[in-house]
Structure 1
Amino acid sequence: MFDFISFGEILIDMISTDYVNGLKNSNVFEKHFGGSPANIAMNISSQGFSTSVISKIGNDPFGDYILSRMKKSKVNTDFIKIDDDYNTDIVFVLKSQFSPEFYPYRSSSLNLEVNDEAIEAVKNAKIFHFSTWSLSSDNNLEILLKLLKVAKENDTYVGFDPNYRKILWHSSIDIQNAMKIILPYCDLVKPSDDDAKYIFGERSIDKYIEIFHELGAKNVILTLGKDGSIVSSGEEKRSQPSFAKEVVDTTGAGDAFWSGTYIGFIENFDIFNAAKLGNAFSAENLKKVGAVLRLKNYHDLIDKYIQKGG
């Protein structure tokens, strides 16, 4: 049994080395491991939990790099298909202290596959996670629904990152209709205010949370950047300030938030204390460049932010 298993993209983030005005003005990029479902698996694995990812990469140097990084981080790679017909995805990202501009070159992540062994792993996992990339093509959505039904039938906790942007979307149905299909399966959805705006248009923060609940999500964490987050159980709603004191790069901050929140659930925290731990993970990630968190011991953050009522 895995503590955490995710379905979706693994890719290379090419992050600009300087703060400039737009990707078009960036000249130098550094290679980083990326892809939200994989980043979260890496982060959680680094804290001693068992994790795996269902994904696809190309049979190319970037795919080789990804596999070596994941194996070094003790993330199970049994359900990652290496495909000669598709390339490993690459995303160019603007180094930023705010929501970063990015441009994706997608191949493998639009053509995901799943086998019986992966379905069985989801059936027995504690947590199943997926992002918008996982439903952004007709092929992926069909596979995702199979996995969600298995998770639902076996009481696997389901989390969804609705990180929608139009540039990612290749499905024959629009994003709002896709939300109606998948949100009833979700125990937790964690949009940013930008995500919610791109999905539902201009609304109030409270309205965004209301819509996610109405469409089926049990718990909602709406992140607001430097202004913290709003956590809603459907019955109770609380504002939480950001714990961040230093911001070098925002890449992967959302993934770090997810990682801490999921570890909170594994530790049997309620949604509000789990979100505090996610907040603390995110604050740590903002101190450096790249999406994969470098954190020695999550218990230190629990002591600081949870047990002392942080």
Structure 2
Amino acid sequence: MAEVFCVGELLIDFVAENQGSNLSEAVEFTKKAGGAPANVACAIAKLGGKSSFIGCVGNDPFGHFLLNVLKDENVDVSLAQRSKTFTTLAFVSLAEDGERDFVFSRGADRELKYDPSIKKKFDHNILHLGAATAMLGGPLEEAYNHYLFDALTKDSFISFDPNYRADLWKDNQVAFVKKCMPFVQKSHLCKFSLEEAQLISEKKDMHEACDALHDMGANIVTITLGGDGTLLSTTQQKQTVPSIAVTPVDTTGAGDAFIGCLLYQISELANFESVFSDFDLLLKMVRTANKAGAITTTKYGAIAALPHKSQLID
């Protein structure tokens, strides 16, 4: 089984309780572990896979809490770093349909320093790059770019999720798209929301968006569509894979559960090349990953809601 290395942010989600989608009216918050790459690492470990988290937290109680949560989920945190800067925080509100609104208070995640000794660990393994905060400058962005090219030299399977957050980019979407380009070009698998696919491809139609993303270099493209399932696209074929019917209460982490489950299944393959040649195999994997994402929306909190392998068996 291949190991999956997840690079990016690990942070505290303060989730507003007992209110709608307006953070200004929130009074009570519950502390949860969050950060898309960390969620992906936990999703893989919960399914029985091998995952390692590469990121930075503060040397403070919140940072200690976060690393302990990952350890409890059997994620390897030996490559995580600690900083004197305070742990990154996100304040999250949930609407009645489970959709989220974010406000970030950024801190230690940006302080991740590139470690050249990690390169050898990528050899014939999987690198997952979650980009929510990774392209906002600082040592993290430099490390993020280094790890992409390290993985390319080690025959790694590379996965990219742009994790676009409007609050972080404000009116600077052009810069976001430009910074995503090398990762779309070099990654074997790209996971997008519909908004992200349209933004990066500059195409409204999702089939045209897939074609444009393939033209940029992406081998396999998935566009998650919530309750409508996932559009799976390769350079040769496209198909929308339905999801399962659930009553969502919190969509936090659903996309991370999806890509984590997909990467877990890829990590079990004897040869990564089979995902490029066997569309039926990919369809089966995406169907299972859809189920993982859907189950995650039925509970509050991303990591706590991630499914175990037994929940995905028909």
Supply the distance in 1 between the matched residues of 2:203 and 2:304 (Cα, whole angstroms).
32
Instruction: Tell me the equivalent position of 2:301.
Output: 290
Provide closer, same or farther for how the CA distance between residues 118 and 2 of structure 1 changes in structure 2, counting only shifts above 3 A.
farther
- Residue 3 of structure 1 pairs with residue 14 of structure 2: no
Amino acid at match of 2:93: L
Following superposition, the deviation at residue 176 of structure 1 comes to 2.1
Provide closer, same or farther for how the CA distance between residues 212 and 136 of structure 1 changes in structure 2, counting only shifts above 3 A.
farther
Supply the distance in 2 between the matched residues of 1:201 and 1:91 (Cα, whole angstroms).
29
Instruction: Tell me the equivalent position of 2:50.
Output: 50
- Residues 21-67 of structure 1, C-alpha deviation per residue, up to 9 Å, x if partnerless? 42122221111110111111112112222211111111111001011
Q: Name the SS of the counterpart of 2:31 in structure 1.
A: strand
| Aligned residue among 284, 296, 299 for 1:273 | 284
Provide closer, same or farther for how the CA distance between residues 257 and 112 of structure 1 changes in structure 2, counting only shifts above 3 A.
same
Instruction: Tell me the equivalent position of 2:127.
Output: 128
- Mapping of residues 40-79 of structure 1, within 5 Å: 40-79=40-79
Following superposition, the deviation at residue 116 of structure 1 comes to 2.8
Provide closer, same or farther for how the CA distance between residues 9 and 98 of structure 1 changes in structure 2, counting only shifts above 3 A.
same
RMSD between superposed Cα atoms in Å:
2.3
Q: Name the SS of the counterpart of 2:177 in structure 1.
A: helix
Q: Which moved more, 1:197-206 or 1:182-191?
A: 197-206
Following superposition, the deviation at residue 118 of structure 1 comes to 2.4
- Mapping of residues 18-33 of structure 1, within 5 Å: 18-33=18-33
Supply the distance in 2 between the matched residues of 1:24 and 1:199 (Cα, whole angstroms).
31
Q: Name the SS of the counterpart of 2:264 in structure 1.
A: helix
Supply the distance in 2 between the matched residues of 1:249 and 1:296 (Cα, whole angstroms).
14
Following superposition, the deviation at residue 168 of structure 1 comes to 2.3
- Residue 176 of structure 1 pairs with residue 183 of structure 2: no
Checking the alignment, whether the CA contact within 8 Å between 2:2 and 2:267 is kept in structure 1 is no
Q: Which moved more, 1:43-52 or 1:252-261?
A: 43-52
Amino acid at match of 1:160: F
Supply the distance in 2 between the matched residues of 1:168 and 1:7 (Cα, whole angstroms).
18
Supply the distance in 1 between the matched residues of 2:94 and 2:166 (Cα, whole angstroms).
21
Following superposition, the deviation at residue 143 of structure 1 comes to 1.9
- Mapping of residues 127-166 of structure 1, within 5 Å: 127-132=126-131, 133-137=133-137, 139-166=139-166
Amino acid at match of 2:44: I
- Residues 131-184 of structure 1, C-alpha deviation per residue, up to 9 Å, x if partnerless? 222233254333222211121122211111111234324999812222222222
Supply the distance in 1 between the matched residues of 2:59 and 2:215 (Cα, whole angstroms).
42
Checking the alignment, whether the CA contact within 8 Å between 1:160 and 1:190 is kept in structure 2 is yes
Following superposition, the deviation at residue 239 of structure 1 comes to 0.7
Identity %: 28
Instruction: Tell me the equivalent position of 1:260.
Output: 261
Checking the alignment, whether the CA contact within 8 Å between 2:19 and 2:25 is kept in structure 1 is no
Amino acid at match of 1:124: D
Amino acid at match of 1:224: L
Checking the alignment, whether the CA contact within 8 Å between 2:243 and 2:287 is kept in structure 1 is no
Supply the distance in 2 between the matched residues of 1:277 and 1:138 (Cα, whole angstroms).
37
Instruction: Tell me the equivalent position of 1:308.
Output: none
Supply the distance in 1 between the matched residues of 2:21 and 2:148 (Cα, whole angstroms).
40
Checking the alignment, whether the CA contact within 8 Å between 1:260 and 1:280 is kept in structure 2 is no
Q: Which moved more, 1:217-226 or 1:144-153?
A: 144-153
Instruction: Tell me the equivalent position of 2:101.
Output: 101
Supply the distance in 2 between the matched residues of 1:266 and 1:55 (Cα, whole angstroms).
21
Q: Name the SS of the counterpart of 2:192 in structure 1.
A: coil
Provide closer, same or farther for how the CA distance between residues 47 and 187 of structure 1 changes in structure 2, counting only shifts above 3 A.
same
Supply the distance in 1 between the matched residues of 2:72 and 2:104 (Cα, whole angstroms).
26
Checking the alignment, whether the CA contact within 8 Å between 1:244 and 1:282 is kept in structure 2 is no
Q: Which runs of 5+ in 2 are unaligned?
A: 270-274, 276-280
- Residue 233 of structure 1 pairs with residue 251 of structure 2: no
TM-score by length of 1: 0.89
Provide closer, same or farther for how the CA distance between residues 107 and 199 of structure 1 changes in structure 2, counting only shifts above 3 A.
farther
Amino acid at match of 1:290: G
Supply the distance in 1 between the matched residues of 2:140 and 2:307 (Cα, whole angstroms).
35
